[in-house]
Structure 1
Amino acid sequence: MATNTTLKKTTAETTESAPENVTTDPAPRRAATVVGPPLGRGQEPETVTLSHHLRIDGTDYTPGARILVSPDYARRLRGQGFTART
């Protein structure tokens, strides 16, 4: 049987050597932006998966891209066949 020769630190030693205010997330997460027309009052954004290439506000979105849009815009995209069937 092998023995471990490293010494364990006591809790007092551990708290003294631990740095304070350490964040594990290197960059703050941004809220996902709604593409296209803005949300109306009280509306929640919908996630749609595109089935075709689409350019919205000068940004190209490829087929399979998942974007957040207003419910009204999602309905229009579905009606025009731009969303994937899921």
Structure 2
Amino acid sequence: RERGWGPTSRAQFDAARGPKGAQFVGSPAEVTDKILAAHEVFGFDRFMIQMAIGVMDHAELMRAIELFGTKVAPELRRATARADTQAALG
């Protein structure tokens, strides 16, 4: 249980982590692709992520943070900079 919610079923988890779901879970490339897809729809310029600290051990959490900072964030910056440049050039 987390935050008063009952256990998540496998079907619920799979739907939430899928392309249109609310969870950003997977490899750095999968997370990057999902954030970029959301960016195309919503046009946001900030993205805030929350990691559930109660369900991961410390080493896993630190590794997830490291991957987000070293793999996901740099690729998001590159991709959005390219899109901004293309938009400016018309």
TM-score w.r.t. the length of structure 1 is: 0.26
Q: Which has the higher helix share?
A: 2
Give the structure with the higher percent strand: 1
Calculate the TM-score normalised by the size of structure 2.
Answer: 0.25
